[in-house]
Amino acid sequence: MNMKFHLFLFTCILICGYASAQNIRQVAGMDLSVAYQEYGGIMAGKSVTGEAARVAGVPYTNVIGTHAKSIIKIDTRGNASLFTAQIAIADNKINYQDTKLISYPLVDGKKLWYNTDKNSKIFAGLEGLNGNVEKGSVVFSITGDSRQLYKSPLIRQGDTPIKVQVNLAGVRILEMVVEDGGDGASGDHALWIDPQITYSEIVPVTVSSNFAGELPVMDPQVKRKLEQKIAQLPVVELPMEKPGFDWLINADKSETNIYRTADNKNIIIANSMVSRVFRIMPNLATIDIINKMTGENMLRAVGTEGSIRIDGKTWNIGGLAGQPERGFLKPEWLDKLSTMPNSFMVEDFEISPLQESIPWARNRWALNKQAPSGKMLTFTLRGTNEHKDLIIKLNIVVYDKIPVIRKDFEIVNQSSRPINIDHFCLEQLAFAEPESPGGGNPDKFRLPNIHVESDYACGGEFMERETDITEKWVSDPLYTSQRNYPMATPCILEVSPPLGPDYTVQPNKSFGSFKTYLMPFDSDDRERKGLFKRRFHYSVAPWATENPIFMHLTSSDPSVIRTAIDQCAETGYEMVIISFGSGLNAEDVSEANLAKYKALVDYGRSKNIELGCYSLLSSRWISDEVDVINPKTGKRGGMRFGSAPCLCSDWGYEYFDKIKTFFQKTGMRCFEHDGSYPGDVCASTTHTHHKGLEDSQWNQFHKITDLYKWMRAEGIYMNVPDFYFLNGTNKTGIGYREANWSLPRDRQIIHARQLNYDGTWDRMASACWSFVPLVEYRAAVPKPRSNPSVSICMSTRHT
C-alpha cells in the first residue's frame, strides 16, 4: 500500500511538472504569409516598407511590420497563457523626388507608392487626401475566440510604444488586428514590437485569416459567359465508373475528355483512370481528385489552386473558404463556400489538345517515339485591386493513356509597371490521410498513395526521390478534428520551389512556373507501383527510351579515336564518347580544335558511328569571383560538390556559349555532362545574371535546362548524372561506387547484377547506364585485362 502511494505521488509530481513547463513562441518567427493585409505585405523584422523599424528614432528588430487593415490569426491549440507585445506606428519618410519611387493607381482613384531597386518593388505607402502618404493613426485590438480581449487607444505616428499584456487562458483562436484610426489608412505603418506567446506543450501556429470583410465577387457578365461555356460540355454523373481494364495492359482504351455535372457547377477533366473536379462559382477551386482505379475520393477539403507572392504580398490563385469540417467534404456544403481575400478570380476557360512540351529530333532508334497525347484545360484568372492588370493562365493536363494530372501556370503582366514574383506555391491540396496516429514522429506517418514529381528537380543524384526539391507534405492547422493530438499529421500537399524565384516580370512580359505531375497508384505492391513510374517516364519523357550502345575513350589522339570508331563499327557499337581524362576540352572553341573534332565526327559518320564528348561543370573551382557563394559563410565552398562555378556569373554564360558553339561547329551527337547542376544556391550580389540568393537557384536551373532542351531538339544524346529526364536528358547512372570497378572481375559481375535489379524498380532500364571497365580504373589487384590504349570502359545497354 505504501509503495502504491509513493508511485501515485511520483506520477502526480511528473504530471504537474510537465504541465507547468512554459515555452515562448516569437510571433515574428511564425508563418505570416497566411495573414491578411489590404495594402502591401506583412514584414517580419522590418517595417511594412522593408526599412529598419524605428519609432521616434528608436530602432527595433524583433517586430512585425503591418499596414491597416491587417489580421494575424493564431491557433494557440488551447495551450497558451499569455500574449505580450508593444505597439506603435513606424517612422516613415518618403523622398518624392527619388526617381526610384513609382506609383500604381487603384480603382478608387488613390495610388500605392513603391520603391524600386534592381527590378524589384517594395511597398512605400498608400496615398492620402493630400496626394502624399500621411502621418498615420491606428487602433490595435486583440480578440480571443471572437471575444475582444484588448483594444488600444488611438495611436499616432511618433507616439511612444504602448506595452500590451493579455491573458490567454482558455483561448483557442487569437487574432491580432490593426485598423485605421478613422481618417483613412494612409501612413498606417503599424508595428507589433517583441510580440510573443507563452504556451505549454503544443506550439501555436498561424492560420488563414479568412477575412470576413469585403470579399472579391465574380462579375455578373463573367458568370453568364462561364455558365454558357460550361453548358456546352458533355454531362457526366459522379461518381464516375471504374475502368473495366488494366491500363498497363490496355492503355489505348483510355482517352481524356472534359465534362460538366448536370447542375452546371463543376468541370471535370478525366480519363479512364483519374479525374480532377473543379468548382467554378463563386471562384475556381479543386474539390476532388478521384482515383477511378480504386474509386477513392482523395481530397477531404477545398482550398486554393496555389498562391503567388507578388512584391511582398501573397495572393491566392482562385480558392474557396468556409468549409465547416475539414475531415471530409459533403456536396451540400459547396454552395455555401465563399471566395477568399486577395484572390485571383476565374473569368474564362478553354480546351486544347496537348502539345509536345520539348521538341525532340527523333534521329535515332527509340523504344517509344510517340509524343504523349491528352487534353489541356486552361483557366484564365484575373487579379483584383492593384493587380487587376495581371492575368494567370492555369494549365491542367490529363494524359490519354496514363493516370497522370499535370499542372503549371503562366502569369502575364498587362500593367505598365514591373512586378516581382517573390515566391509561389503551385499545389496546395488537402488529401485524406491514410493514417493519423495519436502521437509519434510525423515524418514516419504513411502518406497518401500518390506519386508527385516535377520538372524542377536537381540534387546531384540518380533517383527522383533524392533530387526532388518541390514536394512537401505539411500539417493542416485548420483540421481540428484530426486524430493526431499535436495536429501534426502531414496531410496537405504543397508543391513549391525551396526559395525564390525572385523573378521580375516587365510590362507585357510573362513568367512561367515549373510543371508538377500527380499520379495516384492502385496498389501498394512495389513492382506494380514501379511499373506505374516507368510507364510515366516512358510516356512523358519518351526520349529516355533512346538506347545506343556506346563506349568511353580515354584518349584524344586522332589515331586512337579512329581505331576506336573502327572497332565499334566492327562489333555493332553505335557511339564513342571521348571521356574524362582524355584531354578533350569542349570549352576550347579555337578554329584548330573545332576543325580537329569535326574531322573525327565526319569520320565516325562515315562508319555510322556517332561521336560525343565529356565536360565537367560542377565540382570544379574557377575563382573566388566566379564560384557560388555559400550563404552560411559568405565564401566559396561547402556546397554539394565542395566548390562549383555559378552558372549565372559571366563565366557561366560564357561556358554555355562555348559548349553550344562546340557542338554546332563539330557536329558531335552526344554530351556527357558531369556534375551537371546540383541545385547549389549562390549568395553573391555581383554576378551579372542573378540578383542575389533568392533568384540564384531558379536562374541557374533554367540556364542549364535551356541547354538540355536545345540539345534535345537538335538530337544530341545526353548522359547526365542527375535526374533531368523531364528537361530532355536521356540517361543517368544506375548507381555505382567507383572503387568497385577495381574489384576482381567475378565480384564485379555479381555486384552489377544486384545493382541492375535494385536500380530499375522505379526507372526504365534504358534510362540508366553502368560500366564494364576494360582497363585499370583505380589501383586494383589483379588488374582487369584489356587493351590499355583504347578505352576505359564500355556502356552496357539495359533492356
Tell me what pLDDT residue 197 has. 98
Tell me what pLDDT residue 341 has. 85
Structure confidence at residue 502 as a pLDDT band (50, 70, 90):
very high
Q: Cβ distance 675 to 616 under 8 Å?
A: yes
Contacts of residue 679, defined as CB under 8 A and 6 or more positions apart, other chains included, come to 458, 459, 460, 469, 640, 697, 701
**Which stretch of 66-70, 391-395, 793-797 has the lowest confidence by average pLDDT?**
793-797
Tell me what pLDDT residue 118 has. 62
Residue 780 has pLDDT above 50, yes or no: no
Three cell numbers, residue 299: 481530397
| 366-379: average pLDDT | 98
Angle at 656 between CA 723 and CA 366, to 5 degrees: 45
Q: Could you count the other beta carbons within 10 Å of the beta carbon of residue 793?
A: 22
Q: Count CA atoms within 13 Å of residue 431 on its CB side.
A: 29
| 270-299: average pLDDT | 98
Tell me what pLDDT residue 349 has. 99
Q: Count CA atoms within 13 Å of residue 538 on its CB side.
A: 18
Tell me what pLDDT residue 213 has. 59
Tell me what pLDDT residue 10 has. 44
Q: What is the mean pLDDT of the chain?
A: 91
Q: What is the distance between the alpha carbons of residues 386 and 388, in angstroms, rounded to a whole number?
A: 6
Contacts of residue 47, defined as CB under 8 A and 6 or more positions apart, other chains included, come to 53, 54, 63, 65, 90, 91, 92, 189, 191
Name which of 252, 447, 283, 445 is nearest 349 in CA terms. 283
Residue 469 has pLDDT above 90, yes or no: yes
DSSP 3-state assignment of 81? Answer: strand
**Which stretch of 259-268, 483-492, 552-561, 592-601 has the lowest confidence by average pLDDT?**
483-492
Q: Which helix (H) or strand (E) holds 300?
A: strand 299-301
Give the residue ranges of DSSP H helices in 138-296.
220-231
Three cell numbers, residue 585: 576540352
Task: Tell me phi and psi for residue 95, to 5 degrees.
Answer: -95, 100
Residue 794 has pLDDT above 50, yes or no: no
DSSP 3-state assignment of 263? Answer: coil
Structure confidence at residue 13 as a pLDDT band (50, 70, 90):
very low
Q: Which helix (H) or strand (E) holds 501?
A: strand 501-505
CATH top-level class for 548-620+656-681+708-733? alpha beta
Architecture of domain 220-540: Distorted Sandwich (2.70)
Q: Could you count the other beta carbons within 10 Å of the beta carbon of residue 506?
A: 12
DSSP 3-state assignment of 531? Answer: helix
Q: How far is CA 27 from the centre of its chain?
A: 26
Q: Cβ distance 719 to 795 under 8 Å?
A: no
Structure confidence at residue 777 as a pLDDT band (50, 70, 90):
low
* Length of the chain counted residue by residue: 799
Tell me what pLDDT residue 782 has. 47
Name which of 361, 344, 366 is nearest 767 in CA terms. 366
Q: Could you count the other beta carbons within 10 Å of the beta carbon of residue 125?
A: 28
The CA distances from residue 194 to 136, 162, 202, 438, 498, in Å, are: 21, 12, 21, 34, 28
Residue 214 has pLDDT above 80, yes or no: no
Q: What is the distance between the alpha carbons of residues 490 and 488, in angstroms, rounded to a whole number?
A: 6
Three cell numbers, residue 368: 517509344
Residue 426 has pLDDT above 50, yes or no: yes
Name which of 71, 68, 110 is nearest 89 in CA terms. 68
| 308-334: average pLDDT | 94
DSSP string spanning 557-583? Answer: -HHHHHHHHHHHHHHT--EEEE-TTS-
Tell me what pLDDT residue 662 has. 99
The domain limits of the chain are 24-207, 220-540, 548-620+656-681+708-733
Q: Cβ distance 142 to 176 under 8 Å?
A: yes
Tell me what pLDDT residue 207 has. 84
Angle at 594 between CA 588 and CA 596, to 5 degrees: 115
**Which stretch of 105-109, 173-177, 604-608 has the lowest confidence by average pLDDT?**
105-109
**Side chain identity at 559, as an amino acid letter?**
S
Residue 799 has pLDDT above 80, yes or no: no
**Bridge-partner residues for 635, per DSSP?**
none
Tell me what pLDDT residue 748 has. 86
Q: What is the distance between the alpha carbons of residues 306 and 499, in angstroms, rounded to a whole number?
A: 16
Q: What is the distance between the alpha carbons of residues 5 and 752, in angstroms, rounded to a whole number?
A: 65
DSSP conformation class of 742: G
Three cell numbers, residue 214: 469585403
Annotate 700-731 with b (16+ C-beta within 10 A) or e (fewer): bbbbbbebbbbbbeebbbbbbbbbbbbbbbbb
End-to-end CA distance of the chain: 74
Burial class (CB in 10 A: 0-12, 13-18, 19+), 430: buried
pLDDT tens-digit profile of 709-725? 999 999 999 999 999 99
Burial class (CB in 10 A: 0-12, 13-18, 19+), 148: exposed
Q: What is the distance between the alpha carbons of residues 790 and 714, in angstroms, rounded to a whole number?
A: 29
Residue 785 has pLDDT above 50, yes or no: no
Three cell numbers, residue 593: 580544335
Q: Could you count the other beta carbons within 10 Å of the beta carbon of residue 142?
A: 20
Tell me what pLDDT residue 788 has. 39
pLDDT tens-digit profile of 602-644? 999 999 999 999 999 988 999 999 999 999 999 999 999 899 9
Tabulate helix, strand, coil % of the chain (nearest 5). 20, 30, 45
Tell me what pLDDT residue 485 has. 81
Identify which has the larger pLDDT, 206 or 697: 697
Three cell numbers, residue 364: 535515332
Tell me what pLDDT residue 3 has. 53
Q: What percentage of the chain has pLDDT greater than the value 90?
A: 75
Tell me what pLDDT residue 386 has. 86
Q: At what angle do helices 650-666 and 693-714 cross, to 10 degrees?
A: 0
Name which of 362, 324, 321 is nearest 340 in CA terms. 321
**Cis omega (within 30 of 0) for bond into 69:** yes
CATH topology of domain 24-207: Jelly Rolls (2.60.120)
Helices and strands (DSSP H and E) totals, the chain: 9, 47
| 506-525: average pLDDT | 98
Tell me what pLDDT residue 778 has. 54
Residue 791 has pLDDT above 80, yes or no: no
**Bridge-partner residues for 350, per DSSP?**
378
Q: Cβ distance 700 to 722 under 8 Å?
A: no
